Every structure is written in C-alpha cells, then in structure tokens.
Structure 1
Amino acid sequence: MLHEVGLLGATRIAERAIVGPSAGRPGIRVRAVAASTADRAETFRATHGIPVAHPDYRALLADPGIDTDSVSLHNSAHAQWAAEAARAGEDVIVEKALCLGRHELHALRIAALAGGVHVMEVVMTAHHPWRAVIRTLIASREWGELTGIRSRIAFDVPVGSGYRFVPELGGGAFLDTASYWLQALQATVGLAKATVGGHSDFSGPGGADLDFTATLTWLSGRRATLDAALAEPHRAEHEFTFTGGRIRLNNFLRPAAGPFPVNLVIAPQDGRHRVASFEQSVSYDDQLSRILRTLDQPGAVDCSDAAAERVAVMEDIYLDYLDALSGRSGR
C-alpha cells in the first residue's frame, strides 16, 4: 500500500523525520506541503522536489490525494491540526509532544475515533534495544535493586530562536525534552503509581523555562529525575543507579544525525567495567519503519495509551509546580 503524505509544517524536523527517510522507500511518498505562508511552502516544495505546495493547512487537508498527514508545528498547534486531519479521515503522525494536556487529548481521541484513523505521537528514540537490556538487568537484580534514574537532556539553541522560547506556543525546556524521558521510563520501569514533582525559575523570554527539573518518586523510594535545559551545551544521557553499580547511556540522541552505535557503560561496584554495544542505527529511518507498520495495520487506532500516559504525567508535573507556588501540597 502506498501512503501519500501531506506535511503540515515546512520544518527541519519534517525534513529529517519524513522527507529524507521516505526518499526511495516503497510504501510512502511525500505528496504535498503547507506552511505558515504560501511562499515558505513553495520554497520547501522546490527544495525537496515535493509535487504540491498548498497555500494553507486547510487546503492541504482538503487534498483528495493525501491519506496521511504529518504535523510538525509548534507544540500548541499539534492538537488542533491533528484533530482537523483526523476529522478529514486522514491518518496523522504527530511530532512529540502529542498535545498539552488531558483536555486536548480527549478532543484528539474523539476526532481519531470519529474519523476512524490512526493518530500517533512519534518519539524517535522509542524501541531502541538498549531498553530491553535495562529491563533484564532490573528483573534479574544482577546489580542489586534499582534505586534511581537520572536523565540529563540539554539543547544548544540560541535564546529567543523559535517557538521553544515562547510559552504560549508550548515552548520551554520541559516540553522539549520530557517525551524522551518519559518514554524511556515507560520502557524500563513504568510510570504507574509515581508521585510527581517539578521546578523551574521560568527565567527565559516571556517566562519560558530555560531549565526544568522534574521528578517521579515511587513508594519504594526509587526516584527518576529529569534535568532539562535550553541554551546549554548539547547533552543526552540516562544513568541507572543500582545498589551494586551504575549503568550510563550517553549520546542517546546521536543516531538522529546519522548512523551511530549507542552503548551502555556498565560499572558495577567491583570495578569491572564493561560496555554493552549495539549496532549503529539511524533514529528517523527506524521511526519511519515503525510508522509504516502502524499505518498498515487494519482497523482504526486512536492515540496510544502510552502517549496518553505521557501527556497526563507532563500535565501533572506542571500542575504540581503551580500547586507548590500557591502553597498547596504536591500530587
């Protein structure tokens, strides 16, 4: 089956996640693009050899030759345009974050079910085999009990450049990084029954969070922490602390830029370090393969439970911080 894709957004992420990986691949073709202006869409079309540039997003959604839409707009626009695409009867691929809270999620799910279509949030790091290794080590207790997980994610983007620094558009360090963090936790320890916490000085332009610390704490005492930042040197790492050692994953976003082998550095307390190596991969190529497998599944599928869980936890972390500011207890 050939999927004809329309791009809502003439963006760098659309280039890397859809246009590039789909070139020459059977089963998918980028048919059209729409952007914030008609000129921007036409420039993108000409640059990438896309057949059609539409003057606006609604014109693209009305294109009868499109069956799948890719939404890569600023975060606050994801839910609106994904829902409109779903109501038009088109499958939808949405860049993280899927939406900005339960209210948007509810409306999006209704639209997906009404349209009888798939609506999928894509997190490019999902399903890498390192997760299975961590799950096995946790279950086997080879290095003792897992006591904590610390994730550090920072993007070196100039202050004031783009929607990331506009809170009204869903910007900020937390929303830019939390999907990677939460998806990794879902794949290793799960998110159920965790108490949330969050903090930021919101010191960026317009009150954007240039840095954000988020926590999940379980009754066992195990804690997962995200240190997120914008306008700092690039960093992407997870560290799992066991009673008998530590396991560190560095540069887990590196395969987005091209073939790169991700490694786990395992450091037990006895000092016998070892490295668990994985074959090099390209995140966006792997992601597109997963997208096509989902699109080819028969029957309608609305937003996944995993994506819904991430949306809910992100919202709760923000609300916890607002509760703390007003003197109420956390969640």
Structure 2
Amino acid sequence: MIVRWGILGAANFARQHMGPAIHAAKGADLVALATGSADKAEGFRAFCPGLRVHPTYDALLTDREIDAVYVPLPNHMHVDWTLKALDAGKHVLCEKPMTMQAAEFHTLMARRDQTGLLAAEAFMIVHHPQWQWVKEQVAGGGIGNLVHVSGRFSYDNRDPGNIRNRSDTGGGALRDIGVYVFGSTRFVTGEEPVEVASRIRWESGVDTFSEITASFPGFTYSAYVSTRLHPAQEMVFHGEAGLIRLATPFNANVFGMAQAELHRPGLEVMVKRWPGENHYVRQVEAFGHSIRTGEAYPCPLEFSYGTQEMIDRAFDEAVTL
C-alpha cells in the first residue's frame, strides 16, 4: 500500500524539508497541496511536478485520493486542523508543538481512538539513528549511571512579523525549540521530570530566552533555548563512567553532520558519524509503516503529551529575567 499524502499549507519548512521528504520516502506519494498562492505552489511543483493543488484546506480534506495529511500550519492552528483531518478520515502528522497546552492532547487522543486513525506530532529526531544509538548506549550502561543531562539550542530571529515572534500564533523559543531539548532527554532516558524551574526573558509577550533546570528520578538536567542568540545546538549525557556529546542533535545535514562523541575512561574518545541520514524521510517511512501494519508508531501522542507538559511546567514556574 502506497500512502498518498496531502500538505495543508505551503509553509517554507514544508517546501524545503517535509515536502521533499514525503516525495522521496519509500511507500509514500505526495499527491496534493492546499494553498491559495500559485507562486508558493510552484515551489512544490519544482520537485513534484504532478502535484495537485487545492485552493483551500477544506478542499484538500475532501479529496478522496489522500490517505494522510501533513500539517505545517502556525502553532495555534494545529489542534483544530488535526481534528478536522481526522474527522475527514485522514491520518495526520502535525508539526510540533502539536498543542498550546498539554491538556489539549486528551482531545486529540480521544479523536484518534474514536476514528482508529494514526495521529502524531512530527518529532523527527527520534527516527534518526544517532538518537537511537544514544538511547541504546545509555540504557545499556555505556556511560555508567547517568548523572546529568545538559542541552542548548538557539538561533537568531528578530523579525517582528515572523510567526515565531508573535504571541497570537503561539510563538516563542520554548514552543519552537524547547521541544527538542526536553523531548530528546525524555526519549533517551524514558523518565519524566519530578521538578522543573525556569528563568525566561520576554519580548512583546514571547519568550526569547529560557534557562531550564529540572530533577528527574535518576539524574539532574539543565538547558537553555533562545531565538535571540548566535546559532548553536548540543546535547550532553554525562555518566559516572563516560559521556556522550551530540554536536548536531537536532538539525542534521542543515546545522552540520550528525556526530556523536563517546568519551570513556583513559581519555578514550570514539566518534560516530551518520552522514546523509535524513530523519524527515525516516519519519515519513515510519508513519507509513504504522499505517500499513498497525504496529505502534515510535512517537505516539502520549509521548508528545509528556514533552508539552514539561513546557507547560517551565512556563508555570518561570521567573522573569
């Protein structure tokens, strides 16, 4: 079975990354796009010439030749259009953050279960082999007992009109990139935070810098995210008998090559690289595999709920800088 995909909206990210990934993925066929802009549609037809274009989102959802929908709309629109797509009989892969509040996941889970369709947040990094390797190393005692996890993720975006800088569209650093420093830690360890504290700098109602500390049952945690700093990303898992450092944990092939350093006693360092691995393509293929076989999807709504809950707690416990 080939999963036939439609995209709700001609977002730049969809044109640059997820559209090409759907087009390239095995077992997937990108057949339709919803946009009222002929110019934006041409950007997609450049790599998918036969693409069918619908003038509205509702028109795409009524297309009987679409099995699954990818939703790259602004954050505050994710829940409504995911529910509409499920009601239209489409499987849904929605960009992160899928909700503005963790409680909204209960509505999504209920509708998923009611329709029997697959709905998930597009948290692509769990499909990348570097993260699967880190999870195996930590679980298998490759660095001994895990003691501390640290992370950072930043970029510089000062455009006031950009949706990431607007409070009415669910912008801000925590929602845009906090999901990565939070979700990757939860994915690797399988643990949930016991305590969360944060310090946040705000601009026009949007968080532009957040410093987070947390206690998990087995380790401590610290991280920061920002939309006003020089681009940087890193995750470190520090154990009693070793350390794992990821140099490009989140934007493999964009920020740099996916690479992990395993530091062991005696100053031994093993470097592992994954050149060319595309986590977006792997995500689409995993989604299609779950549709075809009924096997559990690697990143279900229940997992994404936990990350959003941690984001909510960071907001709730924030001290303003």
In structure 1, how many angstroms separate the alpha carbons of the residues matched to 2:295 and 2:192? 28
Shift of 1:82: 0.6
Shift of 1:153: 0.5
Contact map agreement 2:146 2:237 (CA 8 A) in 1: yes
Report the counterpart of residue 286 of structure 1 in structure 2: 282
Report the counterpart of residue 230 of structure 1 in structure 2: 227
Gaps of 5+ in 2: none
Secondary structure of 1:267 counterpart = strand
In structure 2, how many angstroms separate the alpha carbons of the residues matched to 1:130 and 1:52? 35
Contact map agreement 2:192 2:217 (CA 8 A) in 1: no
Query: Which residues of 2 match residues 254-265 of structure 1 at below 5 A?
Result: 254-257=251-254, 261-265=257-261
Gaps of 5+ in 1: 326-331
Shift of 1:119: 0.5
In structure 2, how many angstroms separate the alpha carbons of the residues matched to 1:162 and 1:84? 26
Secondary structure of 2:84 counterpart = helix
Report the counterpart of residue 217 of structure 1 in structure 2: 215
In structure 2, how many angstroms separate the alpha carbons of the residues matched to 1:65 and 1:310? 34
Matched, 1:243 2:256: no
Report the counterpart of residue 157 of structure 2 in structure 1: 157
In structure 2, how many angstroms separate the alpha carbons of the residues matched to 1:54 and 1:280? 33
Secondary structure of 2:192 counterpart = coil
Shift of 1:256: 4.4
Secondary structure of 2:83 counterpart = helix
In structure 2, how many angstroms separate the alpha carbons of the residues matched to 1:269 and 1:303? 37
In structure 2, how many angstroms separate the alpha carbons of the residues matched to 1:309 and 1:44? 35
Contact map agreement 1:134 1:188 (CA 8 A) in 2: yes
Specify whether residues 227 and 98 from structure 1 end up closer, same or farther in structure 2 by C-alpha distance, changes over 3 A only: same
Report the counterpart of residue 310 of structure 2 in structure 1: 313
Contact map agreement 2:135 2:189 (CA 8 A) in 1: yes
Contact map agreement 1:148 1:224 (CA 8 A) in 2: yes
Specify whether residues 240 and 299 from structure 1 end up closer, same or farther in structure 2 by C-alpha distance, changes over 3 A only: closer
Shift of 1:39: 4.5
Contact map agreement 1:172 1:209 (CA 8 A) in 2: yes
The superposition leaves residues 217-271 of structure 1 with CA deviations (integer Å, 9 ceiling, x where unpaired) of: 1355x2122210113222121012223443211022342439x752222334643
In structure 2, how many angstroms separate the alpha carbons of the residues matched to 1:61 and 1:198? 40
Matched, 1:208 2:202: no
Specify whether residues 40 and 191 from structure 1 end up closer, same or farther in structure 2 by C-alpha distance, changes over 3 A only: farther
Contact map agreement 2:15 2:43 (CA 8 A) in 1: no
Report the counterpart of residue 329 of structure 1 in structure 2: none
In structure 2, how many angstroms separate the alpha carbons of the residues matched to 1:116 and 1:40? 36
In structure 1, how many angstroms separate the alpha carbons of the residues matched to 2:198 and 2:287? 32
Shift of 1:114: 3.0
Secondary structure of 1:66 counterpart = coil
Shift of 1:85: 0.3
Report the counterpart of residue 292 of structure 2 in structure 1: 296
In structure 2, how many angstroms separate the alpha carbons of the residues matched to 1:90 and 1:136? 34
The superposition leaves residues 70-122 of structure 1 with CA deviations (integer Å, 9 ceiling, x where unpaired) of: 10011111111011100111111111112122332122223223332110111
Report the counterpart of residue 21 of structure 1 in structure 2: 21
Report the counterpart of residue 269 of structure 2 in structure 1: 273
Shift of 1:61: 1.2
In structure 1, how many angstroms separate the alpha carbons of the residues matched to 2:264 and 2:41? 55
Name which of structure 1's ranges 15-24 and 84-93 shifts more when overlaid on structure 2.
15-24
Name the Cα RMSD after superposition: 2.8
The superposition leaves residues 276-309 of structure 1 with CA deviations (integer Å, 9 ceiling, x where unpaired) of: 3445412222222212212223399895321222
Shift of 1:196: 1.7
Q: What one-letter code is carried by the residue in structure 2 that aligns with 1:209?
A: D
In structure 2, how many angstroms separate the alpha carbons of the residues matched to 1:3 and 1:143? 40
Shift of 1:199: 2.0
| TM-score for the superposition, normalised by structure 2 | 0.87
Contact map agreement 2:143 2:244 (CA 8 A) in 1: no
In structure 2, how many angstroms separate the alpha carbons of the residues matched to 1:135 and 1:303? 17
Shift of 1:150: 0.7
Contact map agreement 1:82 1:92 (CA 8 A) in 2: yes
Specify whether residues 84 and 190 from structure 1 end up closer, same or farther in structure 2 by C-alpha distance, changes over 3 A only: same
